[in-house]
């Protein structure tokens, strides 16, 4: 097990799982996960000569869980990442790796603090540049106005999504994880009307795919039973706030060396069908992109579903960054 530290990041105290010694690599998870989603990467990154530091994002696990929606804005979360970097490696820039919501967090951390972060890798969610309109407007036009359910629209209403998830944490996680995994058959993320609940029509597989054991699921269940889902879901309620914050960065690119790893069965890798070629799209906004990989048949939980493949890409990329 890694060493757990509680780090004052400035505006929040975060639990950080730390392993190894050397240049700092900060790992940032997504929804609904924890530091634990990097359990297959911490050791290999440490063995490669780095300090691997996997955070619990605010709202999760052992980190602070402020109540206000605005406490989960991208500005706040990138500030947390910078605070961890300042605490663990104040004299040199850090390297960032993020998955799911962790990917936009690390992309925007690198964009807004290029002096603080020397390289950045994102899994599942490619970098698409400073937005031209809030994502709420995009999914409203693509889904809500057409009478179609979209989970991020559902998450805008404070209260009901949390209640649905917390009523049966194990069932929620099993169904949500499976529905967008590479193991799920087509149609496992069902089309349904506005007014439906998130879990309506989702499958609880028997057995669950081998990439997540019952013991590993137990860990996640324990974390969310303790923390609840308000903080994690609050991240989705900041699209307009994030848009306003980023408008001052129009024209700025991610110049640092970067890496993208997606999955051909991951809806997030193609922007829910809006991005034909995520790697080509990224090159327009991140000219430092050194490599992009789409793992065949991989679903959304990239580093958990395909740990060996991810490590075989990530570790050589990290080693090549060393001066």
Q: What is the CATH number of the domain that holds 288?
A: 3.40.50.1820
For 20, the token pair is: 């190894």
Task: State the total domains in the chain.
Answer: 1
Q: Are strands 258-263 and 289-295 parallel, antiparallel or unpaired?
A: parallel
> 277: domain range?
3-321
- Note the pLDDT of residue 273: 83
Task: Report pTM.
Answer: 0.98
Report yes or no: 45 and 322 within 8 Å, Cβ to Cβ: no
Q: Which residue, among 11, 35, 9, 25, has the nearest Cα to 227 in the 3D structure?
A: 35
Successive 10-residue mean pLDDT values, the chain, 323 residues: 96 98 98 98 98 98 98 98 98 98 98 98 97 96 97 98 98 98 94 97 96 98 98 98 97 98 96 90 97 98 98 98 79
265: left (phi over 0), alpha (psi -120 to 50) or beta: alpha
Q: Of all helices (H) and strands (E), which one includes residue 165?
A: helix 160-167
Q: Of all helices (H) and strands (E), which one includes residue 308?
A: helix 307-321
- Note the pLDDT of residue 217: 98
For 280, the token pair is: 């080509």
CA distance 20 to 41: 12
For 311, the token pair is: 């490590």
- Note the pLDDT of residue 272: 84
CA distance 275 to 260: 14
- Note the pLDDT of residue 323: 67
Catalytic center residues? 100, 300
């Amino acid at each position: 097990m890694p060493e757990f530290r509680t780090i004052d990041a400035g505006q929040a105290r975060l639990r950080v799982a730390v392993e190894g010694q050397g240049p700092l690599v900060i790992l940032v998870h997504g929804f609904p996960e924890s530091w634990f989603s990097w359990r297959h990467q911490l050791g290999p990154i440490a063995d490669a000569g780095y300090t691997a530091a996997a955070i619990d994002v605010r709202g999760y696990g052992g980190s602070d869980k402020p109540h206000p929606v605005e406490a989960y804005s991208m500005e706040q979360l990138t500030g947390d990442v910078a605070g961890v970097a300042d605490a663990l490696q104040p004299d040199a820039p850090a390297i960032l790796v993020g998955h799911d919501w962790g990917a936009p967090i690390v992309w925007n951390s690198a964009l807004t603090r290029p002096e603080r972060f020397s390289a950045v890798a994102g899994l599942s969610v490619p970098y698409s540049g400073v937005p031209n309109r809030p994502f709420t407007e995009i999914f409203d036009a693509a889904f809500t106005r057409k009478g179609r359910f979209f989970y991020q629209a559902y998450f805008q209403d404070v209260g009901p999504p949390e209640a649905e998830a917390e009523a049966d944490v194990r069932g929620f996680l099993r169904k949500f994880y499976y529905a967008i995994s590479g193991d799920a058959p087509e149609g496992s993320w069902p089309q349904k009307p506005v007014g439906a609940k998130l879990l309506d029509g989702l499958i609880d597989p028997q057995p669950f795919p081998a990439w997540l054991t019952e013991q590993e699921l137990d860990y996640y269940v324990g974390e969310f039973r303790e923390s609840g889902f308000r903080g994690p879901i609050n991240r989705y309620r900041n699209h307009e706030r994030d848009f306003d914050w980023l408008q001052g960065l129009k024209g700025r690119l991610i110049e640092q060396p970067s890496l993208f790893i997606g999955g051909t069965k991951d809806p997030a890798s193609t922007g829910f069908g809006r991005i034909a070629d995520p790697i080509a799209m990224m090159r327009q906004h991140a000219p430092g992109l050194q490599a992009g990989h789409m793992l065949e048949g991989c679903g959304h939980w990239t580093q958990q579903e395909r740990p060996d493949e991810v490590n075989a890409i990530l570790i050589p990329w990290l080693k090549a960054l060393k001066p």
